[in-house]
Amino acid sequence: MEVQSLTKYARMSPKKVREIVMEIQGRNPSAALELLSFIPRKSARLVAKTLKSAVANAENNNNLSSDDLVIKKAVVEQGPAFRRFRAGARGMAKPYRKRTSHIRIVLSDEPATK
């Protein structure tokens, strides 16, 4: 059975979050949380929060044990970007984008088959 958790509109660019998410795919959630606790980045805290939510969903809604779960899929999708302007030389405005991301973590109790 698959259980998922989704964090939408996280104020971090998808590129920065994908670096962290690639490290935890295929791991046990407890091992992944331990790994994330040692990474000193905001994106690691966002991913850990989403992972804890997925584990709680599995335990409370589907009566699954967290020891049997495996991170089947962890995906970071691009959310909307805020358009902002910064003051530039000679009274000009320089545009930049504040990117957001959607973090989706899917847990499964079935063993990985490759």
Residue type, position 23, single letter: E
In angstroms, rounded to a whole number, what is the distance separating the alpha carbons of residues 37 and 31? Answer: 10
What is the domain-level CATH number for residue 54? 3.90.470.10
Q: Is residue 65 part of a domain?
A: yes
Tokens 């809604």 -> residue: 61
Report pLDDT for 113: 59
Of the chain, the percentage scoring pLDDT greater than 70 comes to 96
Domain tally for the chain?
A: 1
Q: Do residues 64 and 109 make contact, with C-beta atoms less than 8 angstroms apart? A: yes
Q: Is residue 114 part of a domain?
A: no
Residue 91 to residues 86, 87, 104, 109, Cα–Cα distance (Å): 10, 7, 42, 58
For range 45-49, the mean pLDDT: 97
Q: Is residue 113 part of a domain?
A: no
Assess whether pLDDT exceeds 90 at residue 114. Answer: no
Report pLDDT for 99: 97
Task: Give the range of the structural domain holding residue 6, as residue numbers without chain letter.
Answer: 2-108
Q: Is residue 45 part of a domain?
A: yes
In angstroms, rounded to a whole number, what is the distance separating the alpha carbons of residues 83 and 11? Answer: 13
Report pLDDT for 84: 97
- Write the pLDDT tens digit of every residue in 52-84: 999 999 999 999 998 999 999 999 999 999 999
Tokens 């584990």 -> residue: 55
Confidence of residue 110 (pLDDT cuts 50, 70, 90): confident
Q: Is residue 89 part of a domain?
A: yes
